[in-house]
Amino acid sequence: MGLPSLGYEDLYAPIVERADLQYTPRRHDPHPRRVRALGAEYVEGTAQGVRIAVGRFPAEHRQRPGAYSTMVYGVHPYQLLNYNGAWDDVSTLAHESGHSMHSYLSSANQPYATAGYSIFVAEVASDR
């Protein structure tokens, strides 16, 4: 950058001038090799969850900002997000999938009374 010294704010300068990458849904769907270190149940659960329980495309009735993962005990999790093919959308889907798998595994392995968890625990589990 040619600066005499580096300030904290300079750490956020873009590395490249512009990168306009687009990700198709098929390209970003979880692939077993990306999450296989987390075990076979996690691999299958993530893949199945994205196939059946993610509402990810913008639609007239679904123009809310943000992304959400929710679950009712004993039912697979659902995700809602607006996916436009940008890197942020891919990252958001991965983050919400972390929440969904946390909920799924919690529900599958604990009784109703103890399957819930705090927001702090939820965010730790989702940052995979």
* pTM for this predicted structure: 0.70
* Residue 72 pLDDT > 70: yes
* Residue 80 pLDDT > 70: yes
Evaluate whether residue 15 is within a structural domain.
no
Evaluate whether residue 16 is within a structural domain.
no
As a whole number of angstroms, the distance between CA 28 and CA 101 comes to 17
| Total domain count, the chain | 1
pLDDT band at 6 (very low <50, low <70, confident <90, very high): confident
CB 49 within 8 A of CB 76: yes
Evaluate whether residue 77 is within a structural domain.
yes
Q: Which of 17, 41, 96, 123 is catalytic?
A: 96
* Residue 28 pLDDT > 60: no
As a whole number of angstroms, the distance between CA 122 and CA 128 comes to 11
Evaluate whether residue 11 is within a structural domain.
no
Domain range for 91: 22-126
Evaluate whether residue 80 is within a structural domain.
yes
**Structure confidence at residue 30 (pLDDT):** 53
**Structure confidence at residue 63 (pLDDT):** 59
Evaluate whether residue 104 is within a structural domain.
yes
Evaluate whether residue 49 is within a structural domain.
yes
**Structure confidence at residue 110 (pLDDT):** 94
Residues 6+ apart with CB under 8 A from 79: 49, 53, 54, 55, 56, 67, 68, 69, 93, 96, 97, 99, 100
pLDDT band at 114 (very low <50, low <70, confident <90, very high): very high
pLDDT band at 57 (very low <50, low <70, confident <90, very high): low
The question of whether 123 is a catalytic residue gets the answer no
Evaluate whether residue 14 is within a structural domain.
no
